[in-house]
Amino acid sequence: MKLNVKIRRFDPESGEAPHWQSFEVPADPMDSALALLLHVKWYQDGTLTFRKSCAHGICGSDAMQINGENKLACSVLVQELAKKDGDTVSFAPLPAAPVIKDLVIDQTRFFEKYRAVMPYLINDNPPPERERLQSPEDFEIIEDATKCIMCGACTHSCPSTWADPEYLGPAAMLKAYRYTFDTRDEGSDQRLKVVDSGEGLWKCYTIFNCVQACPKGIDITRWLSALKRQAVTAQY
C-alpha cells in the first residue's frame, strides 16, 4: 500500500519555523515504522534527520512520537499504524525536549537526571572471591527494571515532565529502583535522599503514561510505587 507519511520538520539552520511535511511512501503492513523513515531519507529527502541503530528495539535510539504516541520506530509495525492505502502515519520528536533537528532531540537533561540518582551499585564492602549470591526470587525483583533501554519514551510521555522540566522523571527513578532493590546494593540511603523529593518520587501522580509508552513493557509505575513505600518506611 501507499501511505501518507507526515513528518514534523525543523532545522534551526534554515531559519524556518517547525512545520509538517508529507511524503508518499510505499509500505508493507509488516514493515516497521523505521522502514518508512529510512525510505524517505534514502529515496526522497536526504536531509530528513533521525537517530537509529540496532533496528530491533534494544539500543533505544529511535524513540519518537508516532501517530501521537511515544514509541520506538523500529518496534512498531505499519499494520498497527495504518489500515489502508492513503492512511496517514505521523512522526514527531518526543515532546518536552529541545529539538536539535527534525526527530532528533537533545537528551543532555535526560542523562543529567540519570546521573543524579547515583545509577550504579554502591557497596563498599570488599567483594567475595566469587560472585555475590542472589536468589532467583531476589533477582526477579529487579529483573523487569533491568530491561530499560533508556530511550526516553516514558519520561517524555509524563505530564509531570511536561509541566516541570526539573522533575527527575520515570526513567531516572526506575534506575534508582533497579539499584536500590538490588540485594547486593547498600546505597539505598544516599539514593533515597535524591528521589524522596518534590522533584522526584512525589511528582509521580501514578498516571501510568510511562507504562503505556514503555517499548519494553516495563511496569514502571509499580516499581516507582515500591520506591515510594521504601522512602516512607526507611530510616535514612
Partner 1 sequence: MIFSHDVVIVGAGGAGLMAALYAREGGADVAVVSKLHPLRSHTGAAQGGIGAALGNEEEDHWLWHAFDTVKGSDYVGDQDAIEIMCKDAERTIIELEHYGVPFSRNKAGRISQRRFGGHTRNFGEAPVRRACHAADRTGHTILHTLYDQCAKQGVRFYDEFQVLDLLMTPDGEAAGCVAYEILTGEIHTFHSKIVCFATGGYGRAFKTTSNAHAGTGDGMAMVLRKGLPLEDMEFVQFHPTGLYRLGILITEGARGEGGILRNSDNERFMERYAPTVKDLAPRDMVSQCIYKEIRAGRGINGREYVHLDMTHVGSDVLLKKLPEITTFSRTYLGVDPIQQPIPVAPTCHYAMGGIPTNYDSQVERAERGTIIPGLYAAGECACVSVHGANRLGTNSLLDLVVFGRRAGLRMAREIEERRTSPKPTLPDNPEQAARDMLEDILGRTNGEPVVKVRTDLQETMMKNVSVFRTDETMSEALVDLNQIRARAARVSVRDKGKRFNTELMDAVEIGFMVDYAEAIAASAHHRTESRGAHSREDYPKRDDGQWLKHILFHSDQQGGFEFSYKDVTITRFQPKERKY
Instruction: Enumerate binding residues for partner 1 (CB under 8 A).
Output: 11-14, 30, 32, 41-43, 45-47, 49-61, 75, 77, 100-101, 104, 107, 114-115, 118-121, 127, 129-136, 138-139, 142-143, 146-150, 175, 178-179, 182, 184-185
Q: What is the maximal distance between C-alpha atoms in the chain?
A: 63
Q: Report the residue number, 59 or 226, with the smaller CB distance to partner 1.
A: 59
Let me know: does 58 contact 151? Beta carbons within 8 Å. no
The residue among 51 and 222 lying less far from partner 1, judged by its C-beta, is 51
Minimum gap (Å) between residue 207 Cβ and partner 1: 25
Minimum CB distance to partner 1, residue 232 (Å): 26
The answer to whether the beta carbons of residues 169 and 155 sit under 8 Å apart is: yes
- In terms of CB distance, is 182 or 196 closer to partner 1? 182
- Cell 554502591, residue? 122
CB of 21 to partner 1, least distance (A): 14
When the beta carbons of 117 and 210 are compared against partner 1, the nearer one is 117
Residue type, 17: A
Task: Decide if 16 contacts 61 (C-beta within 8 A).
Answer: no
* DSSP β-bridge partners for residue 70: 65
State which residue, 111 or 164, has the beta carbon closest to partner 1.
Answer: 111
Task: Give the nearer residue to partner 1 in terms of CB position, either 29 or 198.
Answer: 29
Choice between 121 and 163, CB closer to partner 1? 121
